[in-house]
Amino acid sequence: MRRSLILKSFLYAIGALTVTFLLTFAASRVLMAHGLGDSYRELGADYALFIGRELEASFQDGNPSQSRLDELTQSLHVRLEFLPPASGSAIPAALADRKWTSWHHPWAPQHVYWVRLDPGGQTLGAVRVEFMPPRPAGGRAGWIFSGILMLALGLMIVPPLYVWVIRPLRGMVETAHRLGSDLSTPVTIDRRDEFGDLEEAFESLRQRIQRMLTQKERLLTDISHELRGPLSRMAIALPLVRADGEASPYLDHLERNMHAMDRLIGELLALSRGQTPPAREQEPLDLAEMAQELVAERALVMEQRGLSLDVALQEAPVRGDRLMLERAMGNLLDNAIKYGAGRIRIETGRSGAEAQFTVSDQGPGIPEQDLPHLFEPFYRPDTSRSRQSGGTGLGLAIVHAVAQSHGGAATLASTLGEGTEASLRLPARTA
């Protein structure tokens, strides 16, 4: 049966108020039964007799002084009513045998007293004394009572609030963070209220995203296979055309476009694999050793472009996919070679829990408004320069995807006219 959180909270509020009322009523009854009621009654009687003596002393012409009645009413916070003998049955018959009698309200510690007035030994009537409801307690005792009451209410409200609302919300936050990095573990559905509906929604969302990612990767793999088939056949046919003596600049243009398309397909596949957790088993690696290999592979290109190189390689141990990390680090290094000038600096090292690979160049720099978008696929801040260098706008997107899939981050900092610094930061491998 589905249990609504709203209905549960409503029923709990009614139950808490009922229990509070019953506890308060029971406590008052217990206190009254153990002498508090009698003490209160006797105290009220003493006040009533005191009022009677004051009125007896003020009698004039068979009636108490009206000014004295008003004065006692205001100073003692009571209601006073003089009952002369002519009122008959209004004066309780019990006053014939005793000086005072009383009656109390069943739902409040409030008493009404009748006091016989007999100045000089002659009964001249009676006074009805009704004490007003007590004023709220003040001072330290009032604060202590209020604090105890608030503590009791908090103990009744906070634990159910934590169990029914706060703890499930924390669980949902943890589930959302987990789904950001792991879509393979199902969401546990163990409630039958509104939070249960939210858990079902999370699980349905996880399944849909997982299906879309799988379909996307399969689609890119199929497309790359279908596209590379014709490209391979064209690459085989092109040397045969040239062997027939057909020398034409169009053939060179065709070859460049074929290589560009093949490179674009490879970058799309690398981007797809980088946006999902690596399928291959991760292995212990050192970014310093990988950087040294990447620099050695590109030494001739840097020499041809007249670039000098500063290298500061310190141990930077990580755990990851070698092919994906080589692709990401190679893209950062290739960007510095393409767009840099003068000197390129490569650094690796470890800072706390992070291992870092950094490439700095002295190129023209990148406008500040373009920096937040450079990790987006196909974004190119300078179209003419990108086309001239053969860029597709996927290199930095691949770096960003690889960094995220390894639990790290990629950053860019650039100043126009001074150069650009690109960094790949990954969780450092512990011993």
pLDDT in tens, 175-189: 877 777 777 778 878
Greater confidence, 376 or 415?
415
Q: Kindly list the distances between the CA atom of residue 130 and the CA atoms of 44, 89, 91, in Å, as whole numbers in the listed order.
A: 9, 18, 14
Distance, in Å, from the CA atom of 82 to the CA atom of 51, rounded to the nearest integer, reads 11
Band of pLDDT at residue 383, cut at 50, 70 and 90: very low
Compute the average pLDDT of residues 295-303. 87
pLDDT of residue 137: 47
- Give the dihedral sign, CA 319/321/326/332: negative
DSSP 8-state symbol, 372: G
Compute the average pLDDT of residues 14-22. 74
Greater confidence, 385 or 87?
87
Compute the average pLDDT of residues 232-238. 77
pLDDT in tens, 31-90: 555 545 556 666 777 778 888 888 888 887 777 888 888 888 887 778 888 877 665 545
Measured CA angle at 258 (ends 256, 264), to 5 deg:
105
pLDDT in tens, 126-169: 888 887 655 554 456 656 766 677 777 767 777 777 777 777 87
pLDDT of residue 378: 67
Compute the average pLDDT of residues 282-295. 91
Return the residue matching tokens 């692709």. Answer: 327
Burial class (CB in 10 A: 0-12, 13-18, 19+), 82: middle
Greater confidence, 88 or 267?
267
Compute the average pLDDT of residues 299-305. 86
pLDDT in tens, 329-347: 988 998 898 887 788 999 9
pLDDT of residue 427: 93
Mean pLDDT computed over every residue of the chain: 76
pLDDT of residue 91: 62
pLDDT of residue 354: 92
Distance, in Å, from the CA atom of 191 to the CA atom of 164, rounded to the nearest integer, reads 10
Strand partners, 308: 343
The alpha carbons of the chain give a radius of gyration, in whole angstroms, of: 46
pLDDT of residue 239: 78
Q: What is the pTM of this model?
A: 0.45
